[in-house]
Copies of this chain bind each other. A is one copy, B any other.
């Protein structure tokens, strides 16, 4: 049996069932014209997936239902498979609100299929992810809970959808996203469904955000499932961007077909691009007649660039903005930011502003100007020294008074306070106003290393509408700079001088780039130390770091250059002091600042915001940490 499958890798606009339905209707028409027999759309393609608590709006649920009916109405003579929220208006969820399922609908000849061997005429997601940015248990009732409620074995509810198509009995195993990512669950949906027999094709509809390294992991998992069941598997994912307020996710699509031997036989060619591909699949031989396609690299800097470029284009569009203002210091982060936005939005929509104080060197001022010239953006120089001096004087010369007894308090601006005054003067006084006058917004150029320890000023350089680079460690920012010059622009737009410069905030004479004096963060080590605090699945704390240090496996375990630690630190006491300093900043000021940070574009396995959730609970070291510390210090 041959079947023509339309792989509808559509761009889903979250919270816009009206627009999504329009896209779907157009794709259905196109697929019909191209003689498709099964049309497959992604998970939650009508409502969108990351909607926050919009799921609590009854009127929105009804709206999604009514758009779903429009799709079902188009299924004469073909099979349409799509994701939507399914509501059981007679039941409640654990939260007492109306019962919602994350569902897969299978429509044929204007009817919904699958109700013959299942309580509902649709399929319900079994495994609901509740880690990272996912929180499906908050909104949806899983098949696991339904089985418990119905007092049935979950196994009994795992049923293929059988239909009669062109005179033959066709068995479809319809599952949703996490149902195939079952490594950590004792329930293996695909096996249980396959055990029922007669399954010709598995269809996994997904709404799976892009993460570095995820595609190849998915290929390994999904290949094995196809191979073990001996049934081909079609994976359909959406493109677009979705967010949960604090964190922005891109969706790369990367829809794929695996044949019954687990080989990839089709790939939607362009990631991050809406596409409609018709694939002719021979169900009799499980697709083994097709050529095998190799999977592509999914972890290198080109993937990061593609995701960030897409995020910037789509996010600005989604908030109705096409102009940005970028504060450029002559340093690496703002230069990479400028190159990224300029490519995404066009130089006519980007304004670079250099805002020197007396501490800024001619070196960086010149580099900022060269950068602007290279990129062809608008460029402005707005010095801050005058207002910074005025602010310090205004505060120091106007003591506060207790009116009852005329007691005065003279306020003194320390050098450290003056540093932050400069940073806020740039962003909150100038950039915000310039951006408004330019008809746009201003960017936050912070990277993940400084976000980790709060090496930035709140309402200063940490401010902005979007933190596009805030999921990149400093060494990745440099990699991206090279990539932008070499591959994106094909010539040096970010001056080599900026790449060579010591990273520095230039907020005091102590931070002189010309004397090679810069940030207190030693990136070749701290990038990896900080990464270990947040990115590993079982997260690392100073206790683990000390243990690895005393076992001599620290560099190996955190992934930095071997031998580095002893080059940097004179001895254990210095090593420990440094560790405690950054751990304290990570959990102290760094966290306080992240609470008020702009949205972060996620590319890693753990981004700040709503992916990595934090309580402002202060600094803590375990009892075992103190024991190890004492041991180490005693023995040296």
Bound Cα distance A387, B614 (Å)? 37
Chain B CB within 8 A of A293 CB? no
Per-residue contact bits, chain A 574-602, to B (CB 8 Å; 1 contact, 0 not)? 00000000000000000110111111000
Bound Cα distance A5, B541 (Å)? 39
Bound Cα distance A594, B595 (Å)? 11
Q: A387 touches which one: B390, B409, B599, B616 (CB < 8 A)?
A: B390
Chain B CB within 8 A of A195 CB? no
**Residues B149 and A186 in contact, CB atoms below 8 Å apart:** yes
Closest Cβ–Cβ distance, residue A462 to chain B (whole Å): 9
Task: State which of A57-65, A446-454, A482-490, A554-562 sits at the interface with chain B.
Answer: A57-65
**Residues B433 and A319 in contact, CB atoms below 8 Å apart:** no
Task: List the B side residues contacting A391 at CB < 8 Å.
Answer: 387, 429-430, 433
Closest Cβ–Cβ distance, residue A386 to chain B (whole Å): 7
Nearest B-chain residue to A384, judged by Cβ? B394
**Residues A620 and B16 in contact, CB atoms below 8 Å apart:** yes
Q: A425 touches which one: B421, B429, B597 (CB < 8 A)?
A: B429
**Residues A624 and B436 in contact, CB atoms below 8 Å apart:** no
Task: List the B side residues contacting A438 at CB < 8 Å.
Answer: 400, 409, 411
Task: List the B side residues contacting A618 at CB < 8 Å.
Answer: 15-16, 318-319
Nearest B-chain residue to A182, judged by Cβ? B94
Copies in the complex: 2
**Residues B395 and A411 in contact, CB atoms below 8 Å apart:** no
**Which residues of A are at the interface with B, using a C-beta cutoff of 8 A?**
13-16, 18, 48, 50-54, 56-60, 62-63, 66-67, 92-98, 127, 129-131, 135, 137-138, 144-145, 147-149, 154, 183-186, 242-246, 318-319, 347, 351, 353, 369, 372-373, 376-382, 386-387, 390-392, 394-395, 398-404, 407, 409, 411-414, 417, 420-421, 424-425, 427-430, 432-434, 436-438, 458-460, 463, 465, 537-541, 543-544, 591-592, 594-599, 610, 612-618, 620, 622-625
**Residues B244 and A14 in contact, CB atoms below 8 Å apart:** no
Nearest B-chain residue to A609, judged by Cβ? B595
Bound Cα distance A183, B592 (Å)? 37
**Residues B459 and A434 in contact, CB atoms below 8 Å apart:** no
- 29 chain-A/chain-B pairs, Cβ below 8 angstroms: A18-B620, A52-B617, A53-B612, A58-B544, A59-B622, A63-B624, A66-B623, A66-B624, A96-B183, A98-B538, A130-B138, A137-B137, A147-B148, A318-B617, A319-B618, A378-B401, A379-B401, A379-B403, A382-B398, A387-B429, A394-B430, A409-B438, A411-B437, A413-B437, A417-B433, A421-B432, A463-B596, A465-B592, A595-B599
Bound Cα distance A316, B526 (Å)? 30
**Residues B377 and A319 in contact, CB atoms below 8 Å apart:** no
Closest Cβ–Cβ distance, residue A392 to chain B (whole Å): 8
**Residues B398 and A381 in contact, CB atoms below 8 Å apart:** yes
**Residues B57 and A539 in contact, CB atoms below 8 Å apart:** yes
**Residues A244 and B615 in contact, CB atoms below 8 Å apart:** yes
Point out which of A16, A390, A401, A622 has the most chain B C-beta atoms below 10 A from its C-beta. Answer: A622
**Residues A382 and B411 in contact, CB atoms below 8 Å apart:** no
